[in-house]
Structures are given as C-alpha cells and as structure tokens.
Structure 1
Amino acid sequence: MSGAAGPDPEEAPEEQRFLSAAEAAALERELLEDYRFGRQQLVELCGHASAVAVTKVFPLPALSRKQRMVLVVCGPEQNGAVGLVCARHLRVFEYEPTIFYPTRSLDPLHRDLTTQCEKMDIPFLSYLPTEVQLINNAYGLVVDAVLGPGVEPGEVGGPCTRALATLKLLSIPLVSLDIPSGMPGWDAETGGDAEDGLRPDVLVSLAAPKRCAGRFSGRHHFVAGRFVPDDVRRKFALRLPGYTGTDCVAAL
C-alpha cells in the first residue's frame, strides 16, 4: 500500500475515491493493529454514526408514529453487530426500533450487544413478517445490516437469505450499512449491481466508501469515517468530504 500523501482529507473532492475489498480490509487492520482500536470500539463508532445518518434523512419531528417504527435486520457477521448498535442508538434518539436477528452469532461481542438491546426493551422478532405485513403493519423504515464486504448470502444461512428476498420487494425506505446486502447484486470489489441486489434509498459507508458505492443510485449517501486518523486517510488516499461542526457523518 503506497504511503504517498493524498489530498487534504477535510476538502470536498471533485471525484470520490472508493476502496477495493482488499484495501478496506487493510484499512481496518491498520486501525486495529497499529492504532490499537478495539473491535468493539469500531463497531460502536460505526453503529452510532449509522443511527445519526438515519436521523439526518428521517428527522424525528417530521415523522408520524408509524414512520418512527424502524425494523433493523441483522446478520451474524460484523455488519450485524453494527446494526445492533445502530438499533440501540435509535432507541436513545427516541425512535422505536425492532430487531430481526435470525442467525445469532456466538461471538461474545454480539451476545453483549444483544443483551444491551434486550435490557433497553428493544423487541426481537422471532420471524420476519411477509412483504405485505411489513408494509401494512408497523414499520416506516428498514435498516439493512445483514451482510458486509466479502460475506456471501450462503455463508450466513437460510433465514438471512430469505430475509434478503423479502427486503428486495419492499416499497418502504431502506437504509443499508456499509454495502447493500445481497451480493453478487452488489460486489464490494467490482461494484456490480445485478438485478438481484438490494437497492437502498440510503447508503451509509463505514470508514470510507467501498467500490460498489460508485454505482449507488439512491437518494442519500453518507460516510461515517470521522474517527479515521489523518495519517490513515493520507496513506489510503481517502478523499473524504469535510465534516460539519461535531457531526460524525458527512453527505457524499
């Protein structure tokens, strides 16, 4: 990985830089191994920022009671952990989240985050409602935290695969964390967007945009990477937008 300095990370660039899957993994290793970020710390930062991004697009005072009801669909990998944190912060922000987490990880971090949500009285669904039930019942918004970069649907089990099939059909707003789930519909490396991939209204890129984000055609794209140190931004030639005030997310 080249150490050449990139543009000033606080300047809004004309052309965005997107990370390949290998570069995204290397950036995370740098944060974990060189800067000594803890995995739980990164998940917490990303989950909190994801919840803040939701508040930017769907501000609470503008929402009806039904629109405040948020379904967060979590997978068993790291993106699912970010989703659990996002749900907890949405509850703190006075939204009304419900979690569908069909394939629970045995990882201690996931178990701790699940306990935190349960103790905050965030409901967990035992099954995902059908498309018609989702639209007609309670939810005004769905957060997709099923898959992350490099995770194929078949790796996380049938319930997650079936959940993705339902999410593809929804006409209610969809927010995807890091990359839209459902590869090869969205391939973190090639950026392909085949017919079977999720097409979210909002994408929240974690740390930096991945290559698939170059073909995102939804309404809002945020980056949640203010925690990335300047040296790391320069090393990976990240051309991130400026963050306003104390905001932890920025619009792309």
Structure 2
Amino acid sequence: MAAGSIRYLTQKLAQEIDRELMQPEVGGFALEQLMELAGFSVAQVIAKEYAAERYPRVLVCCGPGNNGGDGLVCARHLVHFGYQPSIYYPKRTQRQVFQNLVKQCENLAIPVLDANVRTAEKQADVIVDAVFGFSFSGSVREPFVDVLRMFCETKRPIVAVDIPSGWDVEQGCTQLGADTFQPDILVSLTAPKLGARTFRGRAHYLGGRFIPPEMDKRYDLNIPKYHGTDQCVRLTADSVESS
C-alpha cells in the first residue's frame, strides 16, 4: 500500500471494525447512529452529482439488512434536499429500528413499495442500490433476483451503497453478467472494500464520517480529509491503493 493511500478492507476486517464501532466500551455508536451518518452521506453524494432540478425522481432499492437501513435514511434526507424519492422495500425487517426508519419516511409521504420494481424503475431518474452490504454471501434469492437483473438492464444511473449488490465483497466484479453491473457512482462506507478495486464507474466517494482518529491509526486506514462540513469525500487515483 502506498504511503498515505486509503486502505481497502477484507470482508473480515470490515466486520471487525463495524463490531468495534458498536461496542459501548470501544466505539460507543448505536446501529441507528451509523446508519444515519451513512445514509446522510449517500444523500449528499447524490446532491453533489445529480442536481434535483434535472434528476428529481430517485428510486431507492432497499434490502433487509443494514445496507437497506442506509437506503431508508438516504431517502428521508433526499426529501429535505428537494428530491422526490420512492422506496422499493420488498422484504421488510421487523426490528424496531427499521420500522422506525420506515415510519419516518411515511411521515414525509415517501412511497414505500413492495412490488412492481420495473414500473418504479421506468419512473426514476436515478436509482440507489442499497440492497446487499459487505456481509452478504451466498446466492441471490427472490425477491431480489429481478432487482439485480433490473440493475443490469436499466439505462438510469445507479448509485451503489458501500458495495454493488451481486459483487463479491473481495473479488468485486470479475465480469459483467446477468447479476453483475457497474454503477455510475460508488459510495464506500467506513473504508472501501477490496472488491471496490474493480469499480470502473464515473466517481468513487467515501462516506460515513465517523471513524475516530485512534481507530484510523490502529487499522492503518488512512482516511482522507473531509472538507468543511461535508459527510463525503471524492476519492482520486492519488488517494487510493494501486491495484
């Protein structure tokens, strides 16, 4: 790893850092705090890259895990940023924190859909992939098979949250196929995962401005400097590991 370049994380290390962040005696964060900061950073990236005047309709596709929670938070902030988001959430999580996030979205009159993702895609200007996060493994099952197929076929720009759904977290996208795609924008959270090395889209951002300096130093993450009050920072070739 070049001196000063941000570290790419294995799946195991990403999970370890996530656990530490939520341990009361170490990081001290609650899950909902991390999802709030992550989802806010994704919404900020969208505001930077897709002006609400030109791309007002954002379809946020959410999975049942924490990545989906990030998407729900993102949708809520997009309303306050002047967008018209809708949410595709076909497999809801019954944990209270996720029910609260859905309620917050419903209070803002954000449509929360559980069917007809193809119809929703046709009415969108931008799509957010918040289906599977870095802990996902195994094969994709319904109702998400058709969602990933839509990601592969759509002409709309896609913003992927942390790792594009369908990618191997460490191997990334080895080839485009029926269940793999290249998003227009990738928003890595905490630090990029190894699979992000195969990202060939237009812009790669880092979001989730919550890593304390001690953890940054201990894990040799080399988190780049965020500017002002921004919750995201665009990564450049000089700031990331060489492949």
Q: TM-score, normalised by structure 1?
A: 0.86
CA distance in 2, matches of 1:236, 1:69: 39
Q: Following TM superposition, by how much is the alpha carbon of 1:219 offset from its aligned partner in structure 2, in angstroms?
A: 0.4
- Counterparts of 1:174-213 in structure 2, within 5 Å, are 174-182=158-166, 186-196=167-177, 197-213=180-196
Segments ≥4 residues shifted beyond 3 Å: 152-155
Are the aligned partners of 1:128 and 1:163 in contact in 2 as well (CA < 8 Å)? no
- Counterparts of 1:7-46 in structure 2, within 5 Å, are 13=4, 15-33=5-23, 34-46=26-38
Name which of 163, 183, 191 aligns with 2:147: 163
CA distance in 2, matches of 1:241, 1:128: 40
Are the aligned partners of 1:75 and 1:146 in contact in 2 as well (CA < 8 Å)? yes
Name which of 103, 106, 110 aligns with 1:115: 103
Amino acid of the structure 2 residue aligned with 1:109:
V
Give unpaired runs (5+ residues) of structure 2.
236-243
CA distance in 1, matches of 2:134, 2:114: 26
2:64 is the counterpart of 1:79: no
Query: What is the aligned residue count?
Result: 230
Name which of 220, 224, 233 aligns with 2:203: 220
Q: TM-score, normalised by structure 2?
A: 0.89
**Residue in 2 aligned with 1:125?**
113
Give unpaired runs (5+ residues) of structure 1.
1-5, 8-12
User: SS of the counterpart of 2:205?
Assistant: strand
Give the stretch that moved more between structures: 194-203 or 46-55.
Answer: 194-203
User: SS of the counterpart of 1:158?
Assistant: coil
Are the aligned partners of 1:153 and 1:161 in contact in 2 as well (CA < 8 Å)? no
Amino acid of the structure 2 residue aligned with 1:193:
T
Change (3 A) 1:154 1:73: same
CA distance in 1, matches of 2:27, 2:114: 39
Q: Percent identity?
A: 38
User: SS of the counterpart of 2:21?
Assistant: helix
**Residue in 2 aligned with 1:91?**
79
Amino acid of the structure 2 residue aligned with 1:116:
Q
Name which of 126, 133, 152 aligns with 1:141: 126
**Residue in 1 aligned with 2:241?**
none
Change (3 A) 1:250 1:226: same
**Residue in 2 aligned with 1:53?**
45
CA distance in 1, matches of 2:173, 2:186: 16
CA distance in 1, matches of 2:227, 2:83: 24
Q: Which has the higher contact order (CA 8 A, sep 6+)?
A: 1
CA distance in 1, matches of 2:138, 2:45: 25
